[in-house]
């Protein structure tokens, strides 16, 4: 292979002179012209490289035929671009030795992939490929057949399409090349063309020339200022330094003045160099056109000054063959790497898809695996406080979220009825209502219970709201976990949601019943054996004497500081001097006891919820979900046998992609082995 490909710098440098010695005679000397014309008549454009390049090019063509680009893997491609009427068709005709459609407006309305293959058979073989069909044709009707195929792809009229048409030319003497000819660039739509024709053409061109693997063959007319050509502007957008752009200057015979200076100055950065050519005129044969071209660049007073390494169709053919071979050899290892990476990723993704159960027995086993995995996930995130399965989803960090809910619940309980306005009035009113014929300073049981029941009633809705909110959150978590483990069985989603909803509804009702019992117990009687009750009561009673002094002294300040209650206005208490002392005692007993009640409501709620959650995970989840999903008719298991259309489509797509990638891998591996052996 080393003998085939010159160093990359030698090929891409615009100043490099390509050795033309191996080429067939293309320059006609003044003497013995008749004999030399006869030797040129059947001479190939370029031949020494074809036999060794062909395997490389065949490999790339086979990859293109497999549509490997749909897998996001770009192929090395020579892309032919040019402004409308720049002479693109003439250049391609000269390389292929066949006629292409011509006419007013856009002739190339679809990307035309031209696969030229040198064939020793004197009889040319031509084929068109499009829409998954192969149509044989011949040189006599090729233009008509291309026009008919174009209409099938892009429709009648003058519209364009991005769907390609492939032309295979097997002909003796043509260079082994594959090129993509794109629609000529036009800014002004003519009659029958869409108003946005420029935008449509630009989009197609940019799709083909943007990949780094593309070599841009920019066709320019000698008569125009290169810097104003739209094709140059487009190629500069993706190849600013021109490292992968080669320019072909057509109509050299029509505008020879200053051409040498234009291509030498290279104001538009064409790093792969320029090749100036003469277009075929009239009924000239391709051999005659080459002879006339050689004569032009040998004898014209201006054009003959050009270096022979940058003039003529044979030079263009040889440059393209060399560039093509270089880019293919350079890209093949990376293509192989991308194919292997894509193949590995697709195989892993396919393996992650669930094995589709084919019987109730297989569905049952699959169902138990799903349920077991979901149960383990639920235990980890809701009981053990582990959230490695949902590292970035805070809503699924359940122990933390439940703790936040508990803290809020506790704060709400403790903040309820904390009002210092009209201090002791409630207690005084109750004392008045419960007084009867009795010993002095005797505190009736009804006083304490009446005040306690009022306070219990005031907070009774808070624990009920909390358990409802907590179980709604747990329902969200349970449903999320179950759906995640059943995501490959979307036909079960409605059943899963229903099972989770029904299960949590039972648990929620159990908690509501429990809260109602707890509230009723607190409402029924007062009791605690906790020593903190007495300690707190005694601490609060320490300010009673101060309060009574202020109440009994009308000249003392109306504001007094009481522990736990802050500064209290006592002016209204001077009207109830006989009951203030008892009311204060009742207030402090209720306050000390209420601390115990709130603690019980918070602590017992936490214990109840944790206990309920553990029972849910360890004992209740499986049987309830099994009953809901499986049922007596095994409806859930039967649903599992009906694979989701989405999963089926994904499986088929992956299998098709893997097959394509394996074929591509073999193609590339074989040609790499051959190239490195050479």
Domains and CATH numbers, the chain: 77-324 (3.40.50.300), 360-642 (1.20.120.1240)
What is the per-residue pLDDT across 252-264, written as a single tens digit (0 to 9) for each?
Answer: 999 999 999 999 9
Identify the pLDDT of residue 49: 52
Percent of the chain with pLDDT over 90: 36
Separation between Cα atoms, residue 497 and residue 481, nearest integer Å:
11
Residues with Cβ within 8 Å of 27's Cβ and at least 6 positions away in sequence, in order, are: 294, 298, 308
Q: Is the pLDDT of residue 452 over 80?
A: yes
Smallest CA-to-CA distance from 501 within 617, 378, 626, 624 is with 624
Tokens at residue 12, please?
Answer: 């891409």
Q: How many CB atoms lie within 10 A of CB 529?
A: 6
Helices within 383-492 (DSSP H only) = 398-415, 425-434, 445-459, 461-485
- Choice among 36-40, 192-196, 251-255, 272-276 with the minimum mean pLDDT: 36-40
Query: What integer is the mean pLDDT of 385-399?
Result: 86
| R_g of the chain, CA atoms, integer Å | 45
pLDDT at 635: 63
Supply the pLDDT for residue 442: 55
Cα–Cα distances (Å) from 213 to 16, 65, 269, 424, 476, in that order, read 22, 17, 18, 89, 50
Q: Are 82 and 184 in contact (CB under 8 A)?
A: yes
- pLDDT at site 579: 84
Q: Which is more confidently placed, 598 or 674?
A: 598
Q: What percentage of the chain reaches a pLDDT higher than 70?
A: 85
Whether the model pTM is above 0.75: no
Tens of pLDDT, residues 569-611: 888 888 887 788 888 888 888 889 999 999 999 999 999 999 9
Quote the distance between the C-alpha of residue 283 and its chain's center. Answer: 55
Burial 251-288 (b: 16+ CB within 10 A, else e): bbbeebeebbebbeebebebbbbbbbbbbbeeeeebbb
Tens of pLDDT, residues 423-436:
777 777 877 666 65
CB-neighbour burial class of residue 306 (10 A; exposed 0-12, middle 13-18, buried 19+): buried
Q: Do 184 and 47 touch, CB atoms closer than 8 A?
A: no
Task: Report the chain's mean pLDDT, rounded to a whole number.
Answer: 83
What is the torsional sign of CA 611, 613, 614, 619?
positive
Query: Taking a C-beta distance cutoff of 8 angstroms, is the pair 222, 276 a contact?
Result: yes
| pLDDT for residue 4 | 32
pLDDT > 70? residue 519: yes
Query: Which of the pair, 64 or 114, is modelled with greater confidence?
Result: 114
Q: Which residue has the higher pLDDT, 205 or 100?
A: 205
- What is the Cα–Cα distance from 175 to 171, expressed in whole angstroms? 9
Dihedral (C-alpha) 200, 202, 208, 211: value to the nearest 10 degrees?
A: -130
* Band of pLDDT at residue 12, cut at 50, 70 and 90: very low
pLDDT value, residue 82: 92
- Read off the pLDDT band of 283 (50, 70, 90): confident
Average pLDDT over residues 642-659: 84
Bridge partners of 169? Answer: 116, 126
For every residue of 50-61, DSSP letters joined together read HHHHHHHHHHHH
Asked whether the predicted pLDDT for residue 3 surpasses 80, the reply is: no
């Amino acid at each position: 292979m080393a003998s085939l490909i010159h160093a990359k710098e030698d090929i891409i440098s615009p100043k490099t002179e390509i050795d033309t010695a191996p080429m067939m005679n293309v320059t006609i000397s003044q003497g013995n012209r008749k004999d030399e014309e006869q030797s040129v008549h059947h001479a190939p454009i370029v031949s020494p490289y074809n036999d060794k390049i062909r395997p490389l090019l065949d490999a790339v063509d086979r990859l293109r035929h497999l549509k490997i680009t749909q897998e996001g893997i770009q192929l090395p491609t020579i892309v032919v671009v040019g402004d409308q009427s720049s002479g693109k068709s003439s250049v391609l005709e000269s390389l292929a030795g066949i006629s292409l459609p011509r006419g007013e407006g856009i002739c190339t309305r679809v990307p035309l992939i031209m696969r030229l293959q040198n064939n020793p058979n004197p009889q040319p073989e031509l084929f068109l490929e499009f829409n998954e069909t192969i149509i044989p044709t011949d040189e006599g009707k090729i233009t008509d057949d291309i026009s008919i195929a174009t209409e099938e792809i892009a429709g009648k009229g003058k519209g364009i399409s991005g769907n390609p048409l492939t032309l295979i030319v097997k002909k003796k003497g043509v260079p082994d090349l594959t090129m993509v000819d794109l629609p000529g660039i036009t800014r002004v739509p003519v009659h029958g063309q869409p108003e946005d024709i420029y935008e449509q053409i630009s989009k197609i061109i940019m799709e083909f020339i943007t990949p780094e693997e593309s070599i841009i063959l920019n066709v320019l007319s000698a008569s125009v200022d290169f810097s104003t050509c739209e094709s140059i502007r487009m190629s500069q957008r993706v190849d600013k330094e021109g490292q992968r752009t080669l320019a072909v200057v057509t109509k050299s015979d029509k505008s020879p003045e200053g051409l040498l200076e234009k291509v030498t100055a290279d104001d538009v950065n064409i790093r792969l160099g320029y090749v100036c050519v003469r277009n075929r005129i009239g009924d000239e044969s391709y051999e005659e056109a080459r002879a006339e071209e050689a004569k032009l660049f040998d004898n014209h007073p201006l054009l003959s000054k050009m270096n022979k390494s940058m003039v003529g169709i044979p030079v263009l053919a040889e440059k393209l063959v060399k560039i093509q071979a270089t880019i293919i050899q350079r890209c093949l290892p990376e293509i192989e790497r991308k194919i292997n990476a894509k193949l590995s990723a697709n195989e892993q993704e396919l393996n992650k898809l669930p094995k589709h159960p084919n019987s109730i027995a297989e569905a049952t086993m699959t169902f138990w695996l799903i349920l077991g995995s979901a149960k383990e996930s639920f235990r980890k995130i809701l009981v053990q406080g582990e959230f490695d399965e949902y590292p970035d989803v805070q809503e699924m960090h359940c122990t933390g979220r439940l703790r936040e809910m508990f803290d809020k619940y506790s704060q709400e309980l403790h903040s309820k009825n904390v009002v210092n306005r009209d201090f002791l009035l409630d207690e005084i009113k109750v004392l008045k209502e419960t007084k009867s014929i009795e010993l002095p300073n005797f505190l009736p049981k009804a006083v304490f219970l009446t005040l306690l029941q009022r306070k219990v009633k005031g907070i009774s809705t808070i624990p009920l709201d909390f358990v409802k909110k907590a179980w709604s959150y747990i329902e969200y978590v349970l449903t999320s976990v179950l759906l995640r483990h059943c995501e490959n069985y979307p036909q079960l989603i409605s059943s899963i949601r229903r099972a989770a909803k029904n299960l949590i509804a039972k648990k929620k009702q159990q908690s509501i019943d429990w809260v109602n019992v707890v509230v009723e117990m607190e409402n029924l009687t007062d009791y605690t054996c906790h020593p903190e009750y007495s300690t707190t009561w005694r601490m609060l009673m320490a300010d009673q004497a101060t309060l009574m002094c202020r109440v009994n002294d009308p000249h003392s300040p109306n504001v007094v500081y009481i522990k736990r209650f802050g500064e209290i206005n006592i002016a209204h208490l001077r009207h109830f001097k006989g009951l203030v002392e008892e009311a204060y005692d009742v207030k402090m007993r209720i306050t000390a006891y209420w601390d115990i009640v709130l603690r019980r409501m918070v602590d017992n709620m936490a214990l109840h919820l944790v206990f309920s959650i553990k029972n849910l995970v360890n004992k209740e989840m499986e049987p309830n979900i099994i009953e809901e999903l499986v049922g007596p008719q095994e409806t859930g298991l039967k649903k599992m046998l009906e694979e989701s259309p989405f999963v089926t489509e994904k499986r088929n797509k992956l299998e098709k992609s893997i097959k394509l990638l394996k074929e591509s891998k073999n193609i590339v591996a074989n040609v790499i082995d051959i190239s490195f052996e050479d």
